Every structure is written in structure tokens, then in C-alpha cells.
Copies of this chain bind each other. A is one copy, B any other.
């Protein structure tokens, strides 16, 4: 992409009510636009980041046999009434709306109910199970306070996966596969090293659920862990019973600020029983389906990565997430000639800053945007026969021979 063609520009200031540093950078760099508190638009660069995150998640979920769908946002109250989650007193984050034709609808804050209800058309025998079904869909949550930029919003993009199994044993097997898939996802997203699976509250129907928490100063949560991080737990389960369960003592635990980037939950029959999602088992008996759910907030993960990795000059994207891999800067006539040549065939992975600006402005924008590799092709360098390649994350600059230089073999 030529920067001169990109309709967004970098902005000097971010909205005053935006406290989080990463969110300020996202706004200033033109990744997102703020509509209202907790409601954002994704501009070309931001949408590319979302799509990169989606692609990684989709590949890993398809790999473990999950199937993708797209459920509606508008929600029929009926299945939610059956599970006792329609009342605002039971679930206070509902957005509601009125049908002109009469009747009240909700905007889906999550999709356990419609997904489970839909599957009643397709599940009758044990032979139809297991089923693992997911979607990337907008969720609406009527939060009293939205905060931390795109980390906690009123409208956000979520990947939600639901598993439907014949029994706990079969469920546990998949749950373990999902754990491993989640770890691969965070590794590929570039935050694997600081992301830990934690013990979290299981609600009223399971002893524990698990969260994936990424250590970062801007996180809303506190997690506790022992030295080697083999035991990590959320604050809400830090009590004597749990500590005994996990075989650690309180004084062996350290704490850290962290942000939740995913959760996995054994739901048992919580939703399948009231919605009567059942099947005929091998022995002829009728059994309720055993469920799990597995969430990753896609836009939230984008926010966490932005907040966690940003430095004081701007964003720092991991390679797999970045909207472009290369930020190509041309300086001078010869520099421009060669930059144009290098750009050819790299329109998809390169943001070519061909704008008519001073080098200093381009360098500042390169840092603000956080593209992994800045490539400077200048007359002065070309006289020395070199091209400068700067790693955004480390700040390290390498001088590479201009002769035979190509973006395609930069890493080979």
C-alpha cells in the first residue's frame, strides 16, 4: 500500500478522554476511530490487524475440527428465558430493542443460547456428536463504563467457540485440545511468552474455568503465580481451599498485573438441559449434551497487544499481527527510484511511505505505526551502497548491501 493513497493520516492528538497509551497510539496512527466511549470503527490499518488475528485463530480452530458459522445479532428472547438469562437482573449487560412488528429483541452479548438452540435441528443421536462450532461475530454489551480503549468496549469482535460432546470424558479430551490450540494461537500472536493459563472461577456449575492472561501493566486483573509459573491463578480463586487443591502456599506466590485474552469454560449441562439439547445414546437412553465454551475477544486482543508492546514512540506489532511487514521509506531521487522497484510485487506486505514529507516525519510515523521492519532507501546510503533495515521492536539497525537487495529475501 502506498501511504499517499491511504485515506488515514497520522494525527498529532488523540481524544482527551482516552487514557490508555496504546489506544491513543491506535487513534493517532489511524488504526481506529472513536464513535463514542466504548464504540470504535476499524480503519484500513486496524481492520488488517483484526483480520490477521482472525486468520490465526481460524487456522488453529479448523485444525482441531471446528466449523465456522455466523449467528444473528438480533436475539429472540425465548431461548434466553429458558436458561434464565433474559432478565436484566440476571444479565445486566443486555442491549434491548423493539421490533416495529411488535415484540422485544436483544442484541447478543454472547451466543450459548442461540447456538445450542440451533443445534437441536441437527443433533438426535450420539453419532451426531461431538460438534465444535465457532464464529467471529460482533458482541454487544451494555457496560456502564467502557475503558482501556478497545480492551473493554460496548461493541466488539469476538471469536466464540462452543463444544457439544456426549459425555465428560469426551469433553475433557477436546477441552485439552482447545487449551493446546489456544497456546499455539497466543504464540503465533506474539504474546505467548507472557500469556498464562490461569485457574479462574468456575461459576456455580464447575469447580474451575480457565483464563488466558497476558502480563501487562495496563491489565485490569491481578494474577498469582509460583516461581516457575506452573501454577497460575486469578485473584478471585485465591483462597485456602484452592491453594490446597493446587498444592501451593500463599507465600510461594508472586503477583502481576495481567489482561485476560481468552477463557475456556466447562459448561456441563447448564444450557443444554434447559434448552433440551439431548441425544439418543448407544444404549438407547436419552442423554443431555455436555457443553463447553471457548472465547477470544479479537478486538480486545488487538488492544492488549497494542497496550503491552507499545513504547513511548508508538505501537510495536508482532510480525504476524502487523498490518504490513515492511515500512519502506524513500529519500532522494535515487532512493525513490530503487524504492519503487523494491515495492513492486510487495503491495500486500509493504506500507510504502511515498509521501512528500521530510525524512524525520516519515521516521516518526514509522515508529508511531509500529510496522516491524523499516527499510530506508536514501541517496546518501546508496552512495555507500547500503540500505538500512531497522527492527521496530529492538530499535536495531542493520546496513545491508543495496546490490541484489529484495524484500523477498530479507529474512533468508
Q: Taking beta carbons and an 8 Å cutoff, which residues of A are in contact with B?
A: 5-9, 11, 30, 33, 35-37, 39-44, 46-47, 50, 65, 67-76, 92-93, 95-101, 105, 107, 114, 118-119, 121-122, 128, 131, 133, 138, 140, 142-145, 154-155
Contacts and interface: CB of A to CB of B under 8 A. Distances in A.
Contact of A99 (B43, B47, B76, B142): B142
Given A39-B74, A47-B70, A95-B98, 20 more contacts: A7-B67, A7-B131, A7-B133, A35-B71, A35-B72, A35-B74, A36-B76, A40-B72, A41-B69, A42-B70, A43-B118, A44-B67, A44-B68, A46-B70, A73-B155, A74-B95, A92-B100, A95-B105, A97-B107, A107-B107
A44 B6 CA distance: 34
A408 B151 CA distance: 45
A55 B46 CA distance: 19
A36 B104 CA distance: 12
B72 A155 contact: yes
A97 B98 CA distance: 8
A67 B92 CA distance: 37
Contacts of A100: 92-93, 142-144
Contacts of A133: 7
Contacts of A30: 122
Contacts of A105: 36, 95
Nearest to A11: B121
Work out how many copies of this chain go into the complex.
2
A47 B76 contact: no
A130 to B, nearest CB: 9
Nearest to A107: B97
B41 A118 contact: yes
Contact of A138 (B40, B41, B73, B97): B73
Closest 4 CB pairs of A and B: A42-B70, A100-B142, A7-B131, A95-B97
A140 B8 contact: no
A147 B98 CA distance: 19
A98 B97 CA distance: 8
Contacts of A40: 72
B70 A50 contact: yes
12 contacts: A6-B67, A7-B122, A35-B76, A44-B68, A44-B69, A47-B68, A47-B70, A73-B155, A74-B95, A95-B98, A97-B107, A99-B154
A253 to B, nearest CB: 36
Nearest to A102: B144
A118 B72 contact: no
A242 to B, nearest CB: 32
A5 B67 CA distance: 9
Given A92-B100, A142-B100, A145-B101, A72 B9 contact: no
A128 B7 contact: yes
